[in-house]
Structure 1
Amino acid sequence: MLLRAAALATSLSALLLAAAPAVHAQGVINLYSARHYSTDESLYNDFTKATGIQIRRVDADDAGIIARLKAEGSASPADVILLVDAARLWRGEQDGLFLPIRSKALDEAIPPNLRAAPAADGGVAWFGFSTRARVIVYDKIKVKREDVDTYEKLGDPRNKGRLCIRSGSHPYNLSLFSAVNAHLGPEKTEAWLKGMVANMARAPKGGDTDQIRAVASGECQIAVTNSYYLARLMRSGTPEDRAVTERVGVVFPDQASWGTHVNVAGGAVARHSKNVDGATRFLEYLASPAAQNYFANGNNEWPVARGVTTDNPALKAMTGGRSFKIDDTPVGTLGTSQVQVQQMLDRAGFK
Structure 2
Amino acid sequence: MLPAERYEEYYKALLEKNTEYEGLFYVGVKTTGVFCRPTCPARKPKLKNCEFFANPQQALLASYRPCQRCRPLSHPNHVPEIVRVLVEAVESNPEKRWTTQDFKNLSVDESTARRQFKKRFGMTFVEYARARRMGLALKNIRSGKTVIDSQLSTGYESSSGFRDAFSRIMGAAPTLLEDGKVLKAAWIDTRLGPMMAIGNDEALYLLEFIDRRGLEREIERLRKRTKSAIIPGVTAPILSIERELSEYFDGERTTFNTPLALLGSPFQQSVWGELMKIPPGETRSYLDISVALGKPTAFRAVAQANGANQLAIVIPCHRVINANGELGGYGGGLTRKNWLLHHEQGGE
Q: TM-score range by the shorter chain?
A: under 0.3
* TM norm structure 1: 0.25
